[in-house]
Chains A and B, each alone.
Chain A
Amino acid sequence: MTETRQPIIGQSLTRLEDPPLVRGKGRFVADVSFPHQLHMRVVRSPLAHGRLLGIRIKAALALKGVHAIWTAQDIADIGPIDFREGKIEKLEPYRQPVLAQDYVRYVGEPVAVVFAEDAYVAEDAADLVELDIEELPVIVEADAPPGVFAPGLSTEAAIVTQGFGDVEGAFASAHAIISLDLQMGRHSGVPLETRGAIGLYDSARDVLELHGAAKVPHKNRESLARMLGRTTTTLHLFEYHVGGGFGIRGEIYPEDILVLVAALRLERPVKWIEDRREHLMCANQSRQQRHLISAAVDAQGRLLAIRNEFYHDQGAYPRTHALRIAETTCGILPGPYHLGAYSATGYYRLTNKTPCATYRAPGRYETNFVRERLLDAIAERLGMSRVDVRRINLIKKEEMPYARPLSVLEDDVSYDSGDYEGLLDQSLKAMDWDALQESLKARRAKGEIVGAGFALFIEKSGLGPTDGAHVNVDTDGVVEVLTGGASVGQGFETVVGQVCADILGADYRKVRVVHGRTERIEFGIGAHASRATVMTANAVAVAAAKVRAKALDMAAELMQAQPGDLDIANGLVFRRDAPHGPSMKLGAVASALRPMAKTRGAREPGLSADGWFESEHQVYPYGNQFAVVKIDPATGAIAIERYLIAYDIGKAINPMLVRGQILGGFAQGLGGAIYEEFLYDERGEPLSVSFADYLMPTLSETPDVEVLLTEDAPSPRNPLGIKGAGESGIAPVGAAIASAVEDALQCTGLVRQLPLTPQRVKAMLKELQSRRGLPA
């Protein structure tokens, strides 16, 4: 047998997690049931704002199969839903109660809850619960004057600010000032399966369990324990297959708390599965902001200062993230450009709509759109090309790491590495940009409405500060990697498995990755903010290296060699100088390290180790996206003729998965750019509560996308050099398509709002005709 070490990191291996999924053996939360379980149905407010005067449950309670019905009074001892990162004094009074108390503030707000023998009866009973609500005036726009949240509390719950430098001075001495008023519609993540939660109480062990966790099981365990007055040791969260998280799944919602409290008090398992209408009405929404942004530039187009004021529509309540999106909006807006001075002011306002929180690339989808529109407008004003205005402002490779006195996720902004201009050049070449301009010009001359646009962006990923993992090899050579990470379908097991197999020398197919189980590991960061690969994989690398060292040490004694003479590959320990010679299976090494084994000597029992990785700052991947579009002047429909995504990942563990992340993200970005929008009427009634009204792009609407994946700028902030991939596909799509649409119309300043629905495009065409003095 010949053994050589082939790299596993960097290979597009097929996914470890796929076998059950492609054979129909997956288990999602709705597939999970426990004997004797009750089904929960939430009674929701039909009004966007009102005073709750009374709730009549008698008729509902009388229905056969109904076990209990609760209102706020029944859970008066449970406080409102906590913020994930702990106490935030100023926002405390705005937190959402688990069940509405005196007021309802959005359509869909939980008001009462039914527990019944089956899901049908539960829904029948919920229909019979009568709500007496005195309707109050609503606020549906965040840029409307603030109103009253509760006596003494304004709906302007906070104002966030960031900035640096002499903004006033820069504007006073500017060569030109360019101002835009831009807004972005509400959209959000719509995973394949809806949310779900099952509460289970084991009174014999006094352990409370929440099944159906996602994203951040360990963080949520802490919050839930705090809210329920339990210790974390007796509260456990369990994750099953998750068909997409996108930031909105796995946060703590009222239903998670209700199933737990009910399981405790009713002493039966309690199952809740969200239906699609509830999902589109009650799960976190995102994105809705209006920005009033101005740039002061010099005659060469350099950004002297940006002043940005924005209205952040938070919906009815701050959710678990509190101010994070508004803060990120401030901190990340300058993107890849130099900026002399900056001031950002965000009005964080509550409206009578579904509450908002993070959705894939929070604060970046919005700011990429705003900033890149601004750059295009500057180019037009100064008569520069859109490429040149960016070139002159880009932060250079030699300036890395590049710090700015701003913060994102309470972390000081410091770009770690990057060659922004280099990647721009690669994309321009891939697009054959100059020739493309000529051909588009020729087509426009013939009457076609075609154009190309692009957007540059910085991502942020790998939020620390620390994560740990445990690696264990059993006596059959199977490697178990215990992590506090979470899988939201992104390929977490594969990435972690590849890193472990590569570093340790194990057989990749023999690695089993545990995640999303608080009873197996005490700490964990879950999967959010594109951090799992950066943080967890690096922790796994540390643990795997320790296991490797221990295996070599043990095997050296058994094989009468020095550890340095040995290597491990595919789960076999062998001599470097005699790859055809005798070898030892990792399982045999693990056997030699069993507690009772004499061979163990003074070594710690077991072939296992813990590893921790710490990071001072986030890492900042970067990229650009290019779009070529054609507009049908009669319908206003936008056809995407070509799309390129260039992205520097630092180091790809599995390029196929990175591409998958990019393409999936792109489709969602396309949704926000053209199709998806949660609309509300003037009474705050949600109008997009089915897939007939909330239009996600399907395969037919999604064009082929070219991906230019580079590894030019590995991160110096972790040994593997990796950066996150999760949000790169989505982040600048609205920006790039808006730029292409304006190029097609040959007029900047027309795109002021996303999504670019056919009707809005048609309105822009009319505006253009009237600007040019042509008959409409």
Chain B
Amino acid sequence: MKPAPFTLHRPATLAQATALLHDLADEDARLIAGGQSLAPMMAFRLARPGHLIDLNGVGELAHLCESGGMIEIGALIRHVDIARRAIPGVTGALLRAVLPHIAHHPIRTRGTFCGSLAHADPASEWCLTAATLDATLVAHSASGRREIAARDYFEGAMATALRADEVLSSVRLPQLPEGARFAFHEFSRRSGDFAIAAALVIFELRDGLIAQARIGIGGAEDRPRRISEAEAVLNGRKPSPELFVEAGAAVAAALCPMEDISTSAAYRRELAATLTERALEEAAR
């Protein structure tokens, strides 16, 4: 479990980082920020980048700010920063509610928000958050900047729309309106493990009726996504246990879950439905 040989680069600016990525595009260069997923993969030699470009010296990526109804999280913002920096509003509260579910404390002190999104593990809590909130992902390359909508970003397990020469420089999350309700539920066999399934639900109550429902499911399929069929079940209706069961059933029906030797698709499907119900119940309280 010693990594294969690689060359380490330590750019000081985003421009230097993108230039390096551009120059080394054919030599399997990888970016590293927190390294909580990449370093173990390198130790297992599942990843063998010829070049590692360390973003930790790029100070301009350490920003976390709110403007124009969007919260922007820079590439060097660690998981723990989400709790340490006072992110305002309902979105801030939502991020703080999701945070403790991410791995273990040492990992949270080192790993980064954007790193989770770049890695795109299907069970990633932040990927689910980005998908459910319809985040905007900002990518920089030597040839410029572009924005990618979350729904276009996730392409499969550990596969994204990012090009090999692009840095995911920040992620922009919309500020949820005051009064929006949310809850996050996930299930893993041990605390801190990758979720077998996770549900993030958000909705508003207008005159006692559900509006603007967002149901996001992670861990079950190869990428996180909103389940519009379940959202449609909820919108315009009065919260009730029966309604939540119906929404869970809609989630189950819409999913095409992953399967592995220890977890069947059927188990994941039922779990996703249960987690949806429980999250809705919590959010409605």
If the complex has contacts A124-B4, A276-B1, are A700 and B191 also in contact, measured as CB distance less than 8 A? yes
B contact residues around A677 at 8 Å (CB): 262
CB-nearest residue of chain A to B40: A690
Neighbouring A residues of B187 by C-beta, 8 Å? 635, 637, 758
Contact among B4, B189, B191, B278 for A127, CB-based, below 8 A: B4
Known: A120-B2, A634-B270. Contact between A679 and B261, CB under 8 A?
A: yes
Q: B192 at the A/B interface (Cβ < 8 Å)?
A: yes
Q: Do residues B193 and A634 form an inter-chain contact, with CB atoms below 8 A?
A: no
Across the interface, which residues of A come within 8 angstroms of B40, CB to CB? Answer: 690
Task: List residues of chain A with CB within 8 A of the CB of B189.
Answer: 637, 675, 695, 757-758
A687 lies within 8 A of B1 (CB): no
Tell me, in angstroms, the Cα distance from A277 to B4 when the chains sit together: 16
The answer to whether B262 touches A697, judged by C-beta atoms less than 8 angstroms apart, is: no
Residues facing A in B1-15 (CB within 8 A) are 1-5
How would residues 747 to 761 of chain A score, 1 for a CB under 8 Å from any chain B CB and 0 otherwise? 000000000011100
Q: How large is the interface on A (under 10, 10 to 19, 20 to 34, 35 or more residues)?
A: 20 to 34
Select one of B44, B190, B191, B264 contacting A277, CB under 8 A: B44
Cβ of A692 < 8 Å from any Cβ of B? yes
A698 within 8 Å of B by Cβ? yes
Q: Could you give, for residues 545-577 of chain A, a 1 whenever the CB lies within 8 Å of some chain B CB and a 0 otherwise?
A: 000000000000000000000000000000000
Q: Are B262 and A757 in contact (CB under 8 A)?
A: yes
**B2 adjacent to A700 (CB under 8 Å):** no
Cα distance, A697 to B45, chains bound together (Å): 27
- A675 pairs with B190, CB closer than 8 A: yes
- Distance A695 CA – B189 CA, assembled complex (angstroms): 8
B1 contact set on A, CB distance < 8 A: 123, 275-277
In the complex, what residues of B have CB within 8 A of residue A277's CB? 1, 44
Nearest residue, chain A, Cβ from B277: A634
Report if A759-B262 is in contact (Cβ < 8 Å); known contacts: A635-B187, A695-B189.
yes
Contact A762 B5 (CB under 8 A): no
Q: Which residues of A contact B278 (CB under 8 A)?
A: 634
B5 and A124 form a contact (CB under 8 A): yes
Of the residues B2, B193, B267, contact of A759 by C-beta under 8 Å: B267
Whether B44 lies near A698 (C-beta < 8 A) is: no
B136 on the A face (CB < 8 A): no
Query: In the complex, what residue of chain B is closest to A697 when comparing beta carbons?
Result: B190
Query: Complex: how many Å from CA A107 to CA B2?
Result: 20
Question: Which residues of A sit under 8 angstroms from B261, Cβ to Cβ?
Answer: 679, 681, 687
Interface size for chain B: under 10, 10 to 19, 20 to 34, or 35 or more residues? Answer: 20 to 34
CB distance from B185 to the nearest CB of A (A): 10
B16 to chain A, nearest CB (A): 28
Whether a CB of chain A sits under 8 angstroms from the CB of B240 is: no
Please tell me if A119 contacts chain B, counting CB pairs below 8 Å.
yes
CA gap between A681 and B260 in the complex, in Å: 10
A701 at the interface (CB under 8 A from B): yes
Shortest Cβ distance from B278 into A: residue? A634
Contact in complex: B263, A698 (CB < 8 Å)? no
Which partner residue on chain B sits nearest A276 by CB separation? Answer: B1
Closest A residue, CB atoms, query B197: A635
Q: Does B154 contact A (CB under 8 A)?
A: no
Q: Complex: how many Å from CA A636 to CA B278? A: 15
Chain B residues contacting A637 (CB-CB under 8 Å) are 187, 189
Q: Could you tell me if A698 and B190 are in contact, using CB atoms closer than 8 angstroms?
A: yes
Chain B interface helix/strand/loop/mixed? loop
A700 touches B193 (CB 8 A): no
Query: Nearest Cβ in chain B — how far from A640, in angstroms?
Result: 14
- B-side contacts of A762, CB under 8 Å: 267, 270
Quote the shortest CB–CB distance from A2 to chain B (angstroms).
51
Residues of A688-703 contacting chain B, CB below 8 A: 690, 692, 695, 697-698, 700-701
B153 located at the interface, meaning its Cβ lies under 8 Å from any Cβ of chain A in the complex: no
Say yes or no for B184: interface residue by CB 8 A criterion. Answer: no
CB distance from A703 to the nearest CB of B (A): 13
* Residues on A with beta carbons closer than 8 Å to the beta carbon of B2: 119-120, 123
Chain B residues with CB below 8 A from A275, complex form: 1
Main secondary structure of the interface of A (DSSP, over half): loop
Please give, as numbers and ranges, the residues of chain A lying within 8 Å of B191 by CB-CB distance. 698, 700-701
Asked if B5 contacts A120 (CB within 8 A), the reply is yes
Query: Which one of B5, B44, B190, B270 lies within 8 Å of A695 (CB-CB)?
Result: B190
Q: Is B132 close to A, CB under 8 A?
A: no
Which chain B residues border A679 with CB–CB below 8 Å?
261-262
- The answer to whether B264 and A634 have CB atoms under 8 Å apart is no
Residue B274 CB within 8 A of the other chain? yes
B194 at the interface (CB under 8 A from A): yes
Distance in angstroms between the alpha carbons of A635 and B268 in the assembled complex: 9
Which A residues are CB-close (under 8 A) to B45?
123, 127
Q: Which residues of the other chain, B, contact A687 by a CB distance below 8 angstroms? A: 261
CB proximity to B under 8 Å, residues A110-154 = 119-120, 123-124, 127
Please name all residues of chain B whose beta carbon is closer than 8 Å to the beta carbon of A675 when the two chains form the complex: 189-190
| Distance of A444 Cα from B256 Cα, bound (Å) | 35
A120–B187 Cα distance when bound, in Å, is 38
Decide if B264 touches A690 in the complex (CB within 8 Å).
no
Given contacts A119-B2, A634-B274, contact A692 B194 (CB under 8 A): yes
A759 to B5 CA separation, bound complex (whole angstroms): 41
A700 to B101, CA, bound (A): 13
Contacts of A690 in B (CB 8 A): 40, 44
The complex places the Cα of A760 from the Cα of B263 at a distance, in Å, of 10
Q: From known contacts A119-B2, A634-B270, infer whether A698 and B192 are also in contact, taking CB-CB under 8 Å.
A: yes
Q: Which of B139-192 contact A (CB under 8 A)?
A: 187, 189-192
Interface string of B265-285 (1 = CB under 8 A from A): 001001100100010000000
Q: How far is the CA of A675 from the CA of B193 in the complex (A)?
A: 12
Set of chain A residues within 8 Å of B262, measured between Cβ atoms: 677, 679, 757, 759
- A701 x B190 contact (CB < 8 A): yes
A635 and B271 contact, CB distance less than 8 A: yes
Beyond A123-B2, A124-B5, A637-B187, is A700–B263 a contact (Cβ under 8 Å)?
A: no
* Nearest-Cβ distance from residue B111 to partner chain A, whole angstroms: 15
| Residue of chain A at shortest CB distance from B4 | A124
- A692 to B2: give the CA distance in the assembly, Å: 18
Instruction: Quote the shortest CB–CB distance from A283 to chain B (angstroms).
Output: 15
Cα-based distance from A690 to B1 in the complex (angstroms): 11
- In the complex, what distance in Å separates the CA atom of A276 from the CA atom of B2? 11
Expressed in whole angstroms, the minimum distance between the Cβ of B72 and any Cβ of chain A is 31
Kindly provide the distance from the CB of B139 to the nearest chain A CB, expressed in whole angstroms.
Answer: 29
Contact A634 B271 (CB under 8 A): yes
CB distance from A95 to the nearest CB of B (A): 29
CA distance A389 to B191 in the complex (A): 38
Q: Which B residues lie within 8 Å of A757 (CB)?
A: 189, 262
Chain B residue nearest to A122 in the complex (CB): B2
Among A276, A634, A701, max chain B CB count under 10 A is at A634
Name which residue of chain B comes closest to A674, CB basis: B189
**B192 cross-chain contacts in A, Cβ below 8 A:** 698, 700
- Shortest C-beta distance, A291 to chain B (Å), equals 23
Q: Which residue of B lies closest to A274 (CB)?
A: B1
Q: For B45, give the chain A residue with the smallest CB separation.
A: A127
In Å, the complex CA distance between A700 and B103 comes to 13
Interface centre among B5, B192, B193, B262 (most CB of A within 10 A): B262
Inter-chain contact B190/A700, CB cutoff 8 Å: yes
Name the A residues within 8 Å of B271 (CB-CB).
Answer: 634-635
Could you tell me the distance in whole angstroms from the C-beta of A635 to the nearest C-beta in chain B?
A: 5
Q: Give the 10 A-B residue pairs with the shortest CB-CB distance, closest first.
A: A275-B1, A634-B274, A700-B191, A120-B2, A123-B2, A759-B267, A635-B187, A701-B190, A119-B2, A679-B261
Q: List 30 A-B contacts (CB under 8 A).
A: A120-B2, A120-B3, A123-B2, A124-B4, A124-B5, A127-B45, A276-B1, A277-B44, A634-B271, A634-B278, A635-B271, A635-B274, A636-B267, A637-B187, A675-B189, A675-B190, A679-B261, A679-B262, A681-B261, A692-B194, A698-B190, A700-B190, A701-B190, A757-B262, A758-B187, A758-B189, A758-B267, A759-B262, A759-B263, A762-B270
A127-B4, A675-B190 are known contacts; what are 5 more A-B pairs with Cβ within 8 Å?
A: A120-B5, A275-B1, A634-B274, A698-B191, A758-B267
Interface residues of A (CB under 8 A from B): 119-120, 123-124, 127, 275-277, 634-637, 675, 677, 679, 681, 687, 690, 692, 695, 697-698, 700-701, 757-759, 762
